[in-house]
A and B are shown apart, each in its own frame.
Chain A
Amino acid sequence: MTPIVEFEAVSKWYGNVIGLNHLTLQIPAGVTGLLGPNGAGKSTLLQLATGQLRPSQGQVRVLDQSTWNNAALNRDIGLCPEQDAFYEWMTGREFVHTCARLSGLARAAAGPQVERTIELVGMTQNADRAIRGYSKGMRQRIKLAQALVHEPRVLFLDEPLTGTDPVARRDLVEIIRGLGRQGRTVLVSSHVLYEVQAMTSTIVLLNRGRLVASGDVRSLRDLIDKHPHRIVLRSARHRELAAKLVSMPDVLGMQLNDAERSILVETRVPDDFYARLPELALQNGTPIEEVYSDDDNLEAVFKYLVNR
Chain B
Amino acid sequence: MNEVPTAQDTRSQTPVWERRPRGLLFAALPSLLWLCLKQQASGKRLWVLAFLFSLPSVIAIIVRTMHSTNAPAENEDALIFSLLANALVPFAALWFASAMIQDELEEQTLTYLLVRPLPRWVIYLSKLAATIAVTAALSAVFSFMAYLAVYAGLEPAHPEIADRALKVAALLALAICAYSSIFGALSLIMRRSLAVGLVYIVLLEGIVANVPFIARKLTVMYYVKVLVERWVLNDAVQDWAMPLGELPSAANSVLVLALIGVAFSLLGAILFSTREFRMKTPEAS
Contacts and interface: CB of A to CB of B under 8 A. Distances in A.
A106 B27 contact: yes
A304 interface: no
Contacts of B276: 52-54
Interface string B12-29: 000111011100100110
A1 to B, nearest CB: 20
B31 A53 contact: no
A88 to B, nearest CB: 8
Interface residues of B, number: 48
B10 to A, nearest CB: 6
Contacts of B109: 85-87
A294 interface: no
A15 B38 CA distance: 36
Q: Is the interface of B mostly helix, strand, loop or mixed?
A: loop
Contacts of A73: 117
A171 interface: yes
B115 A50 contact: yes
A151 B281 contact: no
Contact of A102 (B2, B32, B273): B32
Interface string A140-152: 0000001000111
Contact of A150 (B16, B42, B273, B277): B16
B148 interface: no
Contacts of A150: 16-17, 20
B19 A74 contact: no
Interface string A98-114: 11011111110100010
A104 B282 contact: no
A70 to B, nearest CB: 9
A68 B2 CA distance: 35
Interface in B230-285: 273-274, 276-283
Interface in A51-81: 51-54, 69, 71-79, 81
A87 B36 CA distance: 11
A71 B281 contact: no
Given A52-B115, A74-B115, A103-B116, A43 B281 contact: yes
Given A52-B111, A106-B27, A81 B280 contact: yes
Interface of A: 14-15, 17, 19, 39, 43-44, 47, 50-54, 69, 71-79, 81-83, 85-87, 89, 98-99, 101-107, 109, 113, 116, 119-122, 146, 150-153, 158, 171, 174-175, 177-179, 181-182
Interface of B: 1-7, 10, 15-17, 19-21, 24, 27-28, 30-32, 34-35, 38-39, 42, 107-109, 111-120, 273-274, 276-283
